[in-house]
Every structure is written in structure tokens, then in C-alpha cells.
Structure 1
């Protein structure tokens, strides 16, 4: 059996890919410097007060990762004994020399595309944030530009050279330039939409009760991302266009990864790959020899 036929080799490959995509996100966080954009003196959209986040980053990442993974594990466990629709291909790759239950492999094959997509979404969002450097609605309150009255003596002046006299930390001064697009909206939309699409594909039973529960769950997950996104506007963390753009980015990446990568939406592709592996394995089998009768 070759390396590609072993689950360990597959897991390592997935982890390497996710790590490579997540590396730029880490570098942005540690050493990234957003583009220093100027401001118009009469721009009232930058003069809102600073408020703490209603949905903090820790809460965002907690529910963003926990809810999809918990939902996948729960649904796969419940439906594993009654899955007669063939919605997922059967996975039979061993881990080293150990046979891994198909339920565990099904859970894994539903989780790794989600993690990969989340990393891609975060990378795309951060590239835009640091490249554009749009100022947040509370920019003036946080930065408190030095000699602002002197700088803005001329109406409608665009100020490019200024210094911040701020009581806030360097982290706040960095964050105040990362308004576009909204990272909360993008990440929340990606994660919650992933669960919605997963439930739509996985819970295919035509039973009225199942469909009602599915709709209830899907609505609840959408409400979470909607509330998170709207709170970014009411907290003066983002302009409305930042939030809309973030939601669109999260949704676009979610649809692309789910329908082009996730096995649950590409079972024919994975079935073909499995058949190809089996054909390759059969070709590598030694030819049987039969002893010719002596004459």
C-alpha cells in the first residue's frame, strides 16, 4: 500500500496546506503595518465615539469554530446508522496500520475543508485590510490627531501628514486603520453559512419533522451572523459598506470551497478518485501464475 493510500499522509497534506494559507494571517498579525491613509477634515463619518465590541473577537472565534465542528460531529454520529442515501462516499484508508471507523473518517472529511476555507477567508480579508487601510468610524476619537484645528483651518482639506496624540495603545492605533472589510462579518458569514449548506446537503430526509428542524437550525445560524454583522455598525467599528463587503467575501469563499472541495457536495468526484485508487492498486498486484501440467 502506497503513502497516498494512508490516512496519515492525507492528514499531513491537509495540515500543511492549511498552515501555508494561515501563515500570512499570522505574519499580518505579528508584523503587519496597514497602509497609512489620510482623512478629510469635514468627514463626519470618522468622528463617532469609541465603543467596546458587542461581539468580541474571542466570542466570534469561539462560536465560529465550535458550532460548525460540533454540528458536524453530532449530525454525522446521529445519521451514521441510518445513512441509506449515499450522500458521502465510503472512506476506507487506514491510519498507519490501524483501520479507522468510517464515521471518524466522514467527520474528518467534513471538518478539514471547513478549516481550509476559514483560513482562506481570513487571508483574503486581511490582505484587503492591510492594503487599503480604511479608517474606522471612531478614528478621530482614538487617534486624536495633533493640532487638528490647525490642520483643518482650510475647509474640505485632505490631511495626509499628521500625528496621533492618543491615550490608546499601539494595538488600537493599528486596528483603527483596518476598517475595510469587516473581519467579524466575513468570518461569521463563512462559518454560519457553512453549517447552513452542510445541513441542507446532509439532512435530506423528506420527513416533515426533519425538514422543520433543519429550517429552524439554519435560521438560527443565519441570525447569529446577521446580529454579529449589524453590531459592528452600531458599535461604530465599521462603515456599513465594510460590513456588506465582509459578508459578501465570507459567502463567496464559503460557496466556492463547499461546492468545489467538500466531499459532501462532490461525492461523484471523490467516488471517481476512490475508484482510480482501487484500479491503481489492482494494477500493482502480482500476476498469478499457474503451474502447467507436465506432458
Structure 2
């Protein structure tokens, strides 16, 4: 199953790469009416000049969840490691069984793996929507710079549907044709909702009844401000931002509920004692050894660590 999951992850990354950095999928050329005020908003410069530039957004949606999940899982492990539950546990494992992986490492990498997979899925959904619809940005006519005289727009309002109508910079024009749904809105709300549900479902320490909702609402507020900024800078329409919010929220909810099961799962060890291993006279039998890892695994009868598939 691990190799199968790696193949799926590699295919997802490759598809996202082809959407993002190649012209394999041509953008639909949507027409426009002459002097349409919907698309004559001012162009405030490339994306790097935005109040929320791409490098900042990508750094936050990739770095913040990694840092938060890693720190949270480590703190939970240390708290359980030092608790009295280890002393009350009498479970043991044979040192010859070498196929155990530290639950801390497994949980951290699986939660982050599911999150990373979701990021690429959001990117694919957004890019597919932008390529298929070809919706025009609010500043489209500003960068398109159509020759209205040559297009015959002086006498009557005409619908222009051919790509050669634009005389502006081709890169700016192409970017202005890819606005629905908003990628920034989708990625930001996906990261915010995933982290909010992770904090709510995972952290059960005393004194966090108010801290958890405040932290979760803070994440959602940042995502909302990102969408509002896209509209305020005339880079997206309201419909683009709302569609991005819907896609990001839907994918985050699906992954948390159906894949990681609200970050809860089966116990690593059942209450029943494990069956005795068959003995082999030709092999020297090894005694049972009590170790921190053994104690940590045994403690999972008290704290549930999710088996994420």
C-alpha cells in the first residue's frame, strides 16, 4: 500500500506541474463586449506587488501547518511519555519484532502527507477550472488594450471573441484569463480549515477550551482576509473568491472526515494480550525488554493515535 500511495502522490504532483508550468492544457479564450466596465478596473501590477504575494502565501500554507503539526505531535508525545500511564502499563513487545515504527513519526508524517496531497489536489482543481472557463479578470481590458476602432466598436456594442483582438502583453493577458476560481482563496481556506479541525480534534489539554476556537478562528480570518484582498486589488471577482473558498473547504473537509477520520482511529494495541510467538529450537530466544517505545505503544490504549490510510 505504501508504494501504491507513493505512485498516486507522484502522479498528482506531475499533473499539478503540467497545469502550472506548461502549456499542455490550453486556456479557453472567452470573449468580451466592447467597453464592458466589468473588465476595465485598474491593473495594479504583477502578483509579486500584491499585499499577499505568491511567495508569502505559499510559504505560509506549507510552512505553518508543518510547524504546527510537528510541534503539537511532539508535545503530545512528551506529555504522554512523562505521564503516570506508562507506569501503570504492563505491556511488552519482543525485541525480535523489528517492524514497529515510532507512532510519533508515523502520525506526523501521515497527517502532513495527507495535507500535502490535499494542497496538490486543490491546485489541480483550481487550475482545471481556470483552463476550462477562461474567465476574465476585472482588469482584463486594461491589459488587453483592444483597438476599438479596428474592431468596429464605435457605432455599436459588439461581442469580440477572437484572441487577436488584444494588443497588450501576452503574459499579462494570459494571466487575466485565469481567475475562476481564485487559487489564493482556495489554498488559504484549505490550509486554515485543515489546521482548525486538526487543533480542535487533536488537542485535549486542560485550559485549551478557549484557546482552540480562538486559534481556529484566527486561521479562518487570515483566509478570509486573503480573499478580500484579491477583490480589493481587482485581481478577482467575488464569484472567483467564493468558488475558491468552496473548493478549498470541500477538499479539506473530505480529507479530514473520510481519510484521517477526524484525526482519530484504531488503537495500536488491543486490550487483549498478543498471541505467543512460535518458538524455534534452532534460534536463540530473546527475552522481553521494557523500553520507552514499548511503553509509548502500550499507552495508546489510553490515548488514541489515528491510523491514517
Would you say same fold, with TM above 0.5?
A: yes
Q: Give the aligned partner of residue 116 of structure 1.
A: 117
CA distance in 1: counterparts of 2:167 and 2:57, whole angstroms: 31
Q: Give the aligned partner of residue 293 of structure 1.
A: none
250, 254, 257: which one aligns with 2:252: 254
CA distance in 2: counterparts of 1:39 and 1:114, whole angstroms: 39
Q: Give the aligned partner of residue 28 of structure 2.
A: 35
Q: What SS does structure 1 have at the residue aligned with 2:212? A: helix
Determine whether 1:130 maps to 2:134: no
CA distance in 2: counterparts of 1:132 and 1:44, whole angstroms: 20
Unaligned runs of 5+ in 2: 84-92, 270-274, 282-309
Deviations 1:235-274 (A, max 9, x none): 1111111101110110011101111112553514xx5xx7
CA contact (8 A) 1:258 1:265 kept: yes
1:167-206 residue pairs with structure 2 within 5 A? 168=169, 170-205=170-205
C-alpha spacing 1:25/1:154, structure 2 compared with 1 (3 Å) = farther
CA contact (8 A) 2:34 2:148 kept: no
1:142-221 residue pairs with structure 2 within 5 A? 142-147=143-148, 150-161=151-162, 162-166=164-168, 168=169, 170-205=170-205, 207=206, 209-221=207-219
CA contact (8 A) 1:41 1:156 kept: yes
Residue 82 of structure 1 and its aligned partner are, at CA, apart by 3.1
CA contact (8 A) 1:76 1:107 kept: yes
1:5-84 residue pairs with structure 2 within 5 A? 10=2, 12-29=3-20, 30-31=22-23, 32-52=25-45, 53-83=50-80
231, 235, 238: which one aligns with 2:236: 238
Q: Give the aligned partner of residue 278 of structure 1.
A: none
CA contact (8 A) 1:33 1:174 kept: no
CA distance in 1: counterparts of 2:43 and 2:149, whole angstroms: 18
CA contact (8 A) 1:260 1:266 kept: no
The worse-fitting range, judged by mean Cα deviation, of 15-24 and 251-260 is 15-24
CA distance in 2: counterparts of 1:48 and 1:199, whole angstroms: 40
Residue 13 of structure 1 and its aligned partner are, at CA, apart by 3.8
Q: CA RMSD in A?
A: 2.9
C-alpha spacing 1:42/1:171, structure 2 compared with 1 (3 Å) = closer
More helix by share: 1
Residue 216 of structure 1 and its aligned partner are, at CA, apart by 2.3
Deviations 1:212-249 (A, max 9, x none): 22222112211211111110001111111110111011
- How does the TM-score come out when normalised to structure 2? 0.75
- How does the TM-score come out when normalised to structure 1? 0.78
Unaligned runs of 5+ in 1: 5-9, 85-91, 276-281, 290-295
Residue 187 of structure 1 and its aligned partner are, at CA, apart by 0.7
